Structure 1
Amino acid sequence: MLALVAALTLTACGQAPAATRQADPAAAPPAGFPVTITNCGRTLTFDRPPAKVVTGYHPALETLLALGVGDRIAGRTNFSESAFLPGQKEQYDKIPEISPTIMLPQKEVMLSQGADFVLDNAMAGFDAGGGYATVAELDAAGSPVYILGGWCSPEETLEFTLDDTFTDLRNLGRIFGVSDRADRLAADLRGRLEDVRERVSGRPPVKVLATDGGKGPVNAYGGAGVTHQMIVAAGGRNTLADVNSDYTEVSVEQISAAQPDAILVSEYATLRGEKMPTVRAKAAGILAIARNSPAARDDRVLPVPVAAQHPGYRNLLAIADIARFLHPDAFSR
């Protein structure tokens, strides 16, 4: 999915244990610390909450802002792909930008940040071949890395479930010493999901094609990963459920034969500074291919912010929006 899901199999999983840098080795750990968690097969131990955090792709920043620890974020990447979540643009603007793209900065700049915690949701930003600081190098510098959603390798992106987001919230709550806030946020999100499930329960699933456009082959979302999980939770049936992939290319013939009732189109304005096709333009191409489908007949298209299609709590919020689109009658009461 985008540059963040490049097929980069890095050595991050199975790295040596990491720990946060000690501000004062003689000081007693705060209540509830030390905290030990596992992530990408690595053991991370924190003697105190991180105080100088760097975040990668925007869903990582969003999740920390939702947990109320935005004052601990010392650097972030650029986000110009889609709309911000309510109330977060003002906080985003106050945090220093250390990269003009959605990716973490190059190695020298990254290591110079002196971060005591790095949060991202893919391994692409830690690829030595791309000039980035590796997880091992950041560990050695006292900047332990946490990857959201269990996206530790290309294979593991296919294993994502919505429960992984709740695991991340629980882990981040412990790491930052805000478990009560994390529990409240998780309870709110679970309540929203349960409301959706109750509303769509018993209704026939709507056949959905999720796509990122293309004239042939077409970029689309198969039956594994974040987007597929969102479709199913919202009361949909992924027409490409038999394709064992998250983000992949499928033939024009497959799109034509899918006969979707509705189409979800990834929405983002820029990617690494390049202007991207609008949702309407991408949808027009897909509807032309699937011209005989119910979705084409009804022009039934929903933009989905691409940030919601990556690990972070936004994907849980987006499920309700997708469900309203697929089952509007279920939300009329």
Structure 2
Amino acid sequence: MKLITTTLALGVLACAATAQTSVQSCNRTVTFDAPPQAAVSNDVNLTEMMLVLGLTDHMVGYTGISGWNKLDAEMTAGVAALPELSEQYPSKEVLIGADADFYFAGWNYGMRVGGEVTPETLAPFGIQVYELTESCSHISETDAASMDDMYNDLRNLGAIFGVPERAEALIAGYQEELAGFLTDLPALDAAPRVFVYDSGEDAPFTAGLYAMPNALIEAAGGTNIMNDFEKSWGTVGWEAVVARDPQVIVIVNYGEVTAEEKRNFMRSNPAFAEIDAVKNDRFVVLEYVEATPGPRNIAAVKTLAAAFRAQ
């Protein structure tokens, strides 16, 4: 009887050790036989998702940060033990050379449609890919961006790396923190009209229906004036911005042109003089890592919600 019991126990342990995990990644179902041991993440926001889940011991590096962004002290400490394998998007050779077995990226977050690095091009080298949920609109039909997109990525990463309880605890904590903050705020008489100014002077690059700022603005009680722009991020005409007369302008801060320079450009251009947000100097700055899907979306909603209610 003891021998039978022991044999059964060993069998259960063996099954548990080889249990497969499947998650939905855009329009693909991806199956993992075991947690990845040589992961690479692209971009500051995706890398921070790995950090908050405590997954650095499963990583061999990160890519796509210093080419566009500067790490703050918290992020610098978090990735101190990891090399940046590429300052911008990695080549296939970079990932293969790192002996990576997993790449956490997204469409226009480390991969381009039809580009050199995609789930299909990496598969022959044993590198599995999980795609950022918010980026799926580039390759398939999706709903409008939602806070649930970020929670979904944390949940799926938790499943992939065998730490589902850790992921669920994080998600529950974020949801509770945000709900408590919003409950204590005064109600808005009406949703303020909001424009997201990422970059560009001849024509602005902005957030459409499928970009994370659309979800952040709605969660904070506002309305993205470009929520009928059925794209993630893209370029629109200034005429449309002027016609829709935003009451608040959200500036995304990153790259060589500072947030203050973007604000000054709008305030000094006579074409924008009658825009409500410009007349009343109602500008809000979000860092890139806050405006893209990741743990700092909670702070971003708080910043926006407070700004929408400021006198």
Q: What is the TM-score normalised by the length of structure 1?
A: 0.79
Contact 2:92/2:122 (8 A) holds in 1? no
- Is 1:212 equivalent to 2:194 in the alignment? no
For 1:252 and 1:49, the matched residues in 2 are separated by: 47
Deviations 1:29-82 (CA, angstroms, capped at 9, x unpaired)? 655932122212222222222111111122111001000111211011142445
- Is 1:297 equivalent to 2:279 in the alignment? yes
SS at match of 1:121: strand
Amino acid at match of 2:291: Q
Amino acid at match of 2:19: F
Amino acid at match of 1:122: W
SS at match of 1:152: helix
Partner of 1:96: 83
2:98 to 85, 91, 113: 113
Partner of 2:122: 138
Contact 1:222/1:240 (8 A) holds in 2? yes
Structure 2 unaligned runs (5+)? 1-12
Amino acid at match of 2:297: N
Contact 2:64/2:110 (8 A) holds in 1? no
Partner of 2:60: 74
For 2:201 and 2:23, the matched residues in 1 are separated by: 44
Worse overlay, 170-179 or 313-322: 313-322
- Is 1:311 equivalent to 2:298 in the alignment? no
Amino acid at match of 1:323: A
SS at match of 2:65: coil
SS at match of 1:79: coil
C-alpha change, 1:100 and 1:241, in structure 2 (3 Å) is: closer
Contact 1:38/1:44 (8 A) holds in 2? yes
C-alpha change, 1:296 and 1:125, in structure 2 (3 Å) is: closer
Query: Highest CA radius of gyration, 1 or 2?
Result: 2
SS at match of 2:249: strand
For 1:303 and 1:76, the matched residues in 2 are separated by: 26
For 2:232 and 2:118, the matched residues in 1 are separated by: 25
For 2:77 and 2:212, the matched residues in 1 are separated by: 28
Contact 2:213/2:291 (8 A) holds in 1? yes
Partner of 1:191: 176
C-alpha change, 1:179 and 1:247, in structure 2 (3 Å) is: same
- Is 1:246 equivalent to 2:226 in the alignment? no
- Is 1:225 equivalent to 2:211 in the alignment? yes
Deviations 1:156-215 (CA, angstroms, capped at 9, x unpaired)? 576432212212111111111111111111011111231244245731222211112333
Deviations 1:263-288 (CA, angstroms, capped at 9, x unpaired)? 1011102xxxxxx2111111222233
Contact 1:209/1:258 (8 A) holds in 2? no
C-alpha change, 1:85 and 1:170, in structure 2 (3 Å) is: farther
For 2:199 and 2:110, the matched residues in 1 are separated by: 25
Partner of 1:23: none
Structure 1 residue 328: Cα displacement: 4.1
For 1:190 and 1:86, the matched residues in 2 are separated by: 25
Deviations 1:93-143 (CA, angstroms, capped at 9, x unpaired)? 320111022x1x21222222221211012266445865x333123222221
Amino acid at match of 1:285: F
For 2:118 and 2:57, the matched residues in 1 are separated by: 26
Structure 1 unaligned runs (5+)? 1-26, 270-275
2:44 to 50, 53, 58: 58
Ranked by relative contact order (alpha carbons within 8 Å, sequence separation 6 or more), the top structure is 1
Paired-residue identity, %: 30
Worse overlay, 153-162 or 56-65: 153-162
Contact 1:227/1:309 (8 A) holds in 2? yes
RMSD value, Cα:
2.6
Amino acid at match of 2:222: G
Contact 2:42/2:105 (8 A) holds in 1? yes
For 1:200 and 1:32, the matched residues in 2 are separated by: 49
Partner of 1:284: 264
Contact 1:213/1:220 (8 A) holds in 2? yes
Aligned pairs, number: 294
Contact 1:228/1:246 (8 A) holds in 2? no
Contact 2:25/2:133 (8 A) holds in 1? no
- Is 1:180 equivalent to 2:162 in the alignment? no
